Structure 1
Amino acid sequence: MSLYIVELVVFIISVFFAGLITAGEIALSSFGENKIDELKERGDNIWQKFQIVHKNPEPYYGTIHLLYLIFIISSVVFGFLLSAKLINPDITEPTVGFYDNSFRLIISFVLTIVTIASLLTIFSYLIPKALGFKYSNFLGRIFVVTLIPVSKLFIVPARLLNKISDIILLPFKERTNFAQTKPSEDEILDIIADGVKSGAIDEKEEEIIQNIIEFNDLKAGEVMVPRTEMISIDINESDETLLKGIILKGHTLIPVYEDSIDNIVGILHSKDVIKLLIESGSISSIKNLIRPAYFIPETKLISEILTEMQQRGERLAIVSDEYGGTEGVITIEDILEEIVGEIKNDSITEQKEYYKFPDNKYFVLGSMQITDFNEVFNLSLPESDEYNTIAGFIAEQSGKILSLNETVEYENVKFELIKKIRQKMVQFKIYSEVKEFKEK
């Protein structure tokens, strides 16, 4: 019985220290340059110890990994011995038949592996990881003070293992790195989620950080305003018609096409038109104000587009398909909205929630209230505690967030999504092909 107690004590100690090292490593890694500088400015002398580890992390993280490995091996060995005896105390008895004993040994082995793996995962990784994030300041201080002297005992074995590993990695042209590796995107998101739970980060900050992480993967075709919703004017129109179009459309930058929207000839800046009117009092040469258009492929990453726009001084780009046709348009504002969310225009005192297209279809904001929509269009969309906007109604009806240009039909009325920011359905085109659809 005394042997059981010894094995149990060693197992518990091993699991505890393995978990402590996991929590300590996470806490230690949270002390970057900025945090160390803050400690220094406050006159907290502990900054010097963090600086020692930060300047030369290899021996210290090497010590962390070696100690963790030692305690994990110890946990597995003593855990196996302990649980095997507890599960099957007669396993070593000679009176048991060979085949019967072998079968019982296999069962015991499987149960032991499952038990040990579960305990180590919970108590040596999951719980310590959560505590390491939550109490990083407290644990980091204790851990760094202990780690520096302990690491002196492991410098030689850490360097020896490092050299052996470097030799093995020679064909791959890589080197061993004991230091903390850069976290993956998923790990960063986990850290942010923990920060939200603890109250250190608010939900808006979490959204912006998530958007930044996903930003590099987005392409122009996912962000652009599609050609069907582009605001543009025909160069063949008279100067008076062009001026009227510029005023009515209310945009600063307007693509100009000739004969077909697939043939974009340039961009008209409303400020150039205003300047012309002020200086000459004439609108006879508006077409001379058209500037060259900036074209990009729909597969181009928006991170690259943003950089190019900054370098070129462009605010609007025409998105082209593989055949040179016009797919849509993208502005710097569209790109920035992918990071910070929808940007409201302060120059517009009140944004109208709906308006009519020339083809008798209606543009409606996803944020329009169901009650207002029913009143305006004399319809009876069902109301619910689960939603109160058009976007919420569509999500409830379809059971998902629609893709761009996807349509949902309800009682012969079609709702086509024409603008989407991340997972937010922003604008819809609404119409009916079988009955008259109009506002009251």
Structure 2
Amino acid sequence: MMIAMASIAVLSGIASVLFAAADGALEACCGGQLPSVLRRYESPDHRDRVQRSVAIARLASNLVTGIAVALALRLNSAPFGWALVSAITAVLFLTLVTEAVPRAVGESHRIAVVIFLSPLLTVVEILLRPLVALELRLETHTRASGISASVASDASTKEQFREVVAASPDVSRDEREILRGVFSLKGTEVQEIMAPRIAMIAIESLTPWSEVLARVRSAEHARIPVYQGSIDRIVGILYAKDLLPAVIEGVTPVGGWLSLVRPAVFIPEGKRIDVLLREFKAAGNHIAIVVDEYGGTAGMVTIEDILEEIVGEIRDEHDREELPIEMEHGGKFWVSGRVSLEDLSHAIGQRIGNDDAATVGGLVFSVLGRVPRAGEQLVFDGFRVVVERVVQRRVDRVYFERDAAWRERTA
């Protein structure tokens, strides 16, 4: 009996060691480090399901190990004092041997551990999938039952925090704007900040090497999408830094310049930018192609676009000195067509809204019902609106001025 229990304790202890090492390795995995066949473990959703399965397996194996050790040492028949001391010693020893050490090893050798244990992880995930699904369902139900009671309190807390920050003399205007940007991340979707397809600079896959170099120099971008035949068929991203060795040596890259193209990341228009920022950080990626509901290219978004939602416009030596929103005394505003209606409303102190549009350019299209011409005027929500600049059927710059009739009514 004692030998059988000892054997069970050893086997279940080995299982606990493997599961702890796997959990530590999965927790420490970073984007782009695993082979392509195991890249699924870098997906946050898939990794979460696997880690839940591993946690259940660890709990079961630790429980079996503890019971087997207790029976092997015959603690149930030993005096209470001896049984207590033995149990505490066994727990500390098992925690060190089956938890702390294996987890540290998994974190420090994460790639090798994930590769070595991937068959075991696959089996555990499949076997425990029903339990994980039940756990997720219970968790969702618990959160849903508590959300309705906490939403009002959460919103009130955030509003109170904003008011405290706004009233503090130690917080500058720029710092207030940064905090406003942070709070707005969760409610902002990718389609609101992306560069639309018409504004994308991309390279066709059949472009000769000399023209590729010329295009990269003129674009002055670090990353350029590459497409095949149509912009809707993006095949990857060309990094300007990958061209440097060939440019310095004055030769064509071995295997052609397409061999330098890296895989592209595709995301839906409705993805929240706070989620995308976390994915960018986890994968070490800085650019993603945005696709519409039909699978076509809607635009592209970079990590700089997200950071600009927090800190405002980021300029480099190549950017033109033209602010997204320029204000002049007397209620005059010059606005980029890409500015969101929410940002415009915040700048002018009045809500400018339209259910069919999210940006200033979209608003002009929605009101006119056609492609506008430069110089066209319209009146909207107490403003005289002038389309100042149109580039390739895209509204690039718009002028807003308080309408005279509105001024008479408010005088």
TM-score normalized with structure 1 length: 0.43
TM-score normalized with structure 2 length: 0.46
